[in-house]
Amino acid sequence: MHYEMIEIEIADKIAVLTINRPESLNAMSPDLLTEISMAIAELEVDDEVGVVILTGAGKAFVAGADIAEMAEMSPREAQFFAEIGGGMGMAIEESTKPYIAAVNGFALGGGCELALACDFIYASQKAKLGQPEVKLGVIPGFGGTQRLSRRVGLAKAKELIFTGDIIDAEESLRIGLVDAVYAPDELMAKAKATAGRIVANGPLAVAEAKRVMQIGADMALPHANQLEQFAFASLFDTEDQQEGMSAFLAKRAPEFKNR
C-alpha cells in the first residue's frame, strides 16, 4: 500500500516502520493513526516479515498527539480518536509478530503509549519519555494509564502521569520503562541485531510464546500455566517442530517454514 506519513522497509524478514512527519515531530493525528493501523494489518499477513521495528524520522519517535487537531475535538471526536489509538496498541499486542520500539528521540503522550504497546523498547541516549497529558487538562487515552503501570509499577506510573514529568533515557532504564539504552548511531543496529536473532527461530513458536505471555499476564498463574501447556503441545503438530528438533540432533541450522 501507499502511505503518506509512514515508510516501511523490509529486508531479511525484518520490517522497519518509520513514522515520517519530522516537521511536526511525528505528532499523531487521526490520519496518522489510521495509516499505522493499516500498516500493522498489512505486516501481520506478510509471511516475509518476522519482526517489526517501530521508529521515527528526525529527532522524535512521536512527540505526542497533534494538539492543534485535538484542541477542536468534541467529546465524540475525542472518543473516536482514543478508540483508534487504543485499537492500534491492541493490534500490536495481539500481533503474531514481535514489535521493537526504537525510540530515537521524544516519545511523549501518544508516542510513549505507542512504545508501551510494543514487546520491548530500546532507546537512544537522546530519548525523552513521558505522559504529560495532565498539563493539557486531559489524561492518556491510548492505554498509557494501564500499560505504564504494568511496566513500571502503579506508584511510579501515578507519579509520572500525575506530574506529567518527562524523563531521560537513563531514568527510563532505571525504572524499567525501556529495556536498553544505546548511543544514537547504534540504536537501529542494535534493534536489528535483536530482530535478527528472533527471526532465526521458529516463527510459530515465537508467535505462540508472545500470545501466551500476553494473555497469561492477566490470568491467575494456574490458568496461565495451563494455557502454556496447551500451546506447547500444539506445536508438536507442526513441521517447524519436527525441523527444529531434527536440525538440533543433526547439528545443522534449521530451515523453518512457518507451518
Which active-site residues does the annotation give?
113, 133
Nearest to residue 102, comparing CAs of 122, 78, 126, 117?
Answer: 122
Helix (H, G, I), strand (E, B) or coil at 166: strand
Helix (H, G, I), strand (E, B) or coil at 44: helix
d(CA 17, CA 52): 7
Nearest to residue 113, comparing CAs of 76, 82, 73, 74?
Answer: 82
Cell (9 digits) for 43: 505486516
Nearest to residue 235, comparing CAs of 204, 203, 201?
Answer: 204
d(CA 90, CA 93): 5
CA angle 37-43-45, nearest 5°? 115
Please, are residues 178 and 123 in contact by the beta-carbon 8 Å criterion?
A: yes
